[in-house]
Amino acid sequence: MPRNLNRFASVAALLSLAAPCTSLASPAGPATAPGIPMFVNYALTVAQLKTNCKNEIGRAGKAAVSIVAVPARRRTFENVVVPLEDLSADANDRLVAETLLGQVSTDRATRDASLKCLDDVNNFFTELTARPELYRAVADAAASATAKSVADKKLTSLWLVALKRSGAALAPKARAEFVKLNQRLNALQTQFAANLGNDTTTITFGAAQLAGLSDDFIATFKKNGDDYVVPVNESTSGRFMQDAADPQARKTFYLADNNLGYPKNVALLQEALNLRDRIAHLIGYGNWAEYVLADRMAQRPARVRNFLADLDQKLLPRATADLSTLAALKAKDLHVANATIDPWDTTYYDNQLRKTRYAVDSDEVRKYFPVDHVERAVFDIYAKILGVRFTRRTPPNGWVSGLTQWAVTDAKTGRYLGDFYLDLFPREGKYSHFASFTLLPARRRADGTLRPPQDAIIGNWPQSAPGKPALLTHGDVETFFHEFGHDMAAILATAPYETLSSGFRQDFIEAPSQMLENWVWDPQILKKLSAHYETGAPLPDTLIAKMRAARYVNHAYFTTRQIMLATIDMDYHTGGPNVDTTAIWDAVSAKDTPLATPPGVHPQASFGHLMGGYDAGYYGYLWSLVYAQDMFTAFQAGGLESPEVGARYRKDILQPARTYEPDQEVTKFLGRSMSPAAFYKEFGISADRSPAGATR
C-alpha cells in the first residue's frame, strides 16, 4: 500500500494520486555512496516544526497571488501551470519532515505538532484549489495551447480537473461550504490515523493460554508476574491468531483486534461519511462514490459493483467449501461429530490445514527468512530485474535509531537515481501498518535536470526474540516484496513534475506491486530469498513444493473477504448521510462471505483505508489485480529475472508513471490490449467474459 503525504490530502484526492506528506533543505555533506541526496532535517524541535509549517504556508499563499495576477491574455503554461505545480511541489519538498514525523516520531508532542501541520497545510490547499480565479487562470493557460509536450499537456489537464473538482466552479456560498466541509474532513482523517497509531491495547494471558505459540514469539512479550502482556497490533495479530491453540484466547484477541480505535474512530468515520455525501452533492454528484470514481478508471459505481458481484458469485461456492473443510478439521480437533467455524478460528485452522494436509509449518518456514538475508536477497533480485544498484548510507539525522538509508544508482551508467529509507519494526505511536511513503517525488529542476526522489518503507515486522534474529513469515516476505515494488516505482519515475511522478491512477496503483508478489512463489526466487538462520541453507525443494501446493488453500474464502471490504466501502459511500456503519458491515459480511461478522466488534474503526485515500476505492486492490496478473505474463514468457523484460517494464510502466493512462502503458508493455484471462485463471475460473469495467 503506497502512502502519499507529499501530495497533500486535498490535492491528492483531487488528482487521484496515491503515494505520504514530506522539508526542503540544503544538499548533504560528502556522500558515502554515488550521488548526493537532498538533505531533509528530521531532527526538528516542536517550535521549529511549527515555525517552518507556518512560514511555508505563507510562502505558498504569496506564490498563488502572483499566479492569478498574470493578465488573462498573457496566461500560458509557463507562467500559470508551471508556477502552480511549483507552488504545490515546493510546499511538499519543504515540509517533508514536518508532515512525516506525525507517522514516525517517538515523541508524542512532535507527532501531535506534525499532524497539526498536516491539517494546516491540507486546509490551505483545500481553500487554494477552490479559488475560482485560480481555476480561470489555468483554464486561460490551457486555452492558450502553449503546453507542447505530452507531460505538459497531461499536467495542465490534471490541474484543470483537480480545480474543478475542488469546488472552484461553484457559486460563492456553495464554494465556501465546500471548503469548510473539506477542511473538517481533513482533520477527521488525520485524527483517525493518529488514534490508531496511539492505540496501545494489550491483553494479559496466563502461560497456559499461550499454548501453540512458539517460545521465541512468547519471549517477545513483557511479563506481569507469571502472566504475559501481549500487544494487539499488526506485528502480533497474524502469528497469534494462526498459532494460539486456546479458542478462548483467540476469541479474546480477535475481539480486541477488531475493536482497535473504537469508539472514537467509528464516530470520526460516521462524521466523515456525512461530510463526503454533502460535498458530493455540492459538486453535482449523487454520492461520494460517484464523485470519486468519475476520475478513476472504473468511472461509475455500477461498474465496480458488477465487477465485485460477478466475482463473488463465482467464488462463494468455493468459499463455502473452504470453510466446510476447516469446520471438519475443527470437529476432528475437538473430537465431536460436527463443528462450526467462528471468525477467530479461520486463521488458526487455515494454518492447521497447511500443517496437516500440506505439511507446511509456518514456524518452520520462518526459520528460513531472517530479516537481514531477506533484505539483501530482495535487493539483489530487484537490482537484476530493473538494472540498478543499492549502496548503504549512514543517515545524517534519521528520525529514529535503527533506520537505514540506501542510495540507488543505474547499473549501466552509474547515474544516481535516488534514496530510500527502511523503518521496519513497531514502536508506540508509529504508523500501524506496512506501506511505502513517497517523500520526495522525482521533479525537474530549473536547469532541466531531474531531482532524484526519496522514498521510505515504514512497517511493523515481528520483533526478534532475545538472542535471535528477527524471522519473517512467508507472508511478511511477500508484503515486503510488494512494498519494495512501490518503493522502486517512486525511485525510477522520470516524469518531470511531481504531480505526474508520484503515482498512477488510484485503481491502478497497486498493479505493479501486485504483479511482483508472484516472484515470492517461484522456486528459484524462493531459494534466493531463504537462508536458514542457523545453517544458512535455502528452503529445501520438498518444502518449496509443499508451499506452492498450498498457495491457493482457502483462496476463495479470503478473496470473498476482500470483496466484502470493497462492497462495504461502496455501500458506505453510496448510502447517503447517516449510514449505520456497523449494520452495513454485518449485512455485507453475511451476504458476500460464508462467515458473518459476530456481534460486539467494530472493525471499521481500524479500517484505515476508509480514511487514508482509499475511500470509495478499496475495490482497486482487486481491479488492479486484473492488470497485475496480465502484466506478469510478460515475465513468465521472458523470465522472472530477465533484465530485458525488466528494462521494458521500467521504461513503459515505472518511468512515465502518470504521464499516460494505465491502459496505454500496459498495452505498450505487453504489445497488446489487457486481457483478464490470467486474473481468472488464478482463481481457477474460466474467463467467459471480462470483469465488468476492468477493461478499457
Burial annotation 279-294 (CB, 10 A radius, 16+ → b, else e): bbbbbebebbbbbbbb
User: What SS3 class is residue 422?
Assistant: strand
Region class of 74: left (phi > 0), else alpha (psi between -120 and 50), else beta: alpha
User: What SS3 class is residue 406?
Assistant: strand
* Bond from prior residue into 263 cis (ω within 30 degrees of 0): yes
Q: For residue 279, what are the contacts with CB-CB under 8 A and spacing of at least 6? A: 178, 181, 182, 185, 288, 291
Q: For residue 295, what are the contacts with CB-CB under 8 A and spacing of at least 6? A: 14, 16, 161, 165
Q: Which of 478, 483, 498, 510 is catalytic?
A: 483
What are the contacts of 310-316 at 24+ separation with CB within 8 A? 310/691, 310/692, 311/559, 311/563, 311/622, 311/683, 311/691, 312/560, 312/563, 312/567, 312/592, 314/683, 314/685, 315/556, 315/559, 315/560, 315/563, 315/683, 315/685, 316/556, 316/560, 316/592, 316/593, 316/594
User: What SS3 class is residue 67?
Assistant: helix
Q: In this structure, what C-alpha cell is assigned to residue 641?
A: 529475472
Q: Tell me whether residue 498 is one of the annotated catalytic residues.
A: no
> What is the C-alpha separation between 104 and 193, in angstroms, rounded?
12
> What is the C-alpha separation between 126 and 189, in angstroms, rounded?
14
Within 10 Å of residue 147's Cβ, how many Cβ atoms? 20
Cβ atoms of residues 228 and 205 within 8 Å: yes
| Catalytic residue list | 483
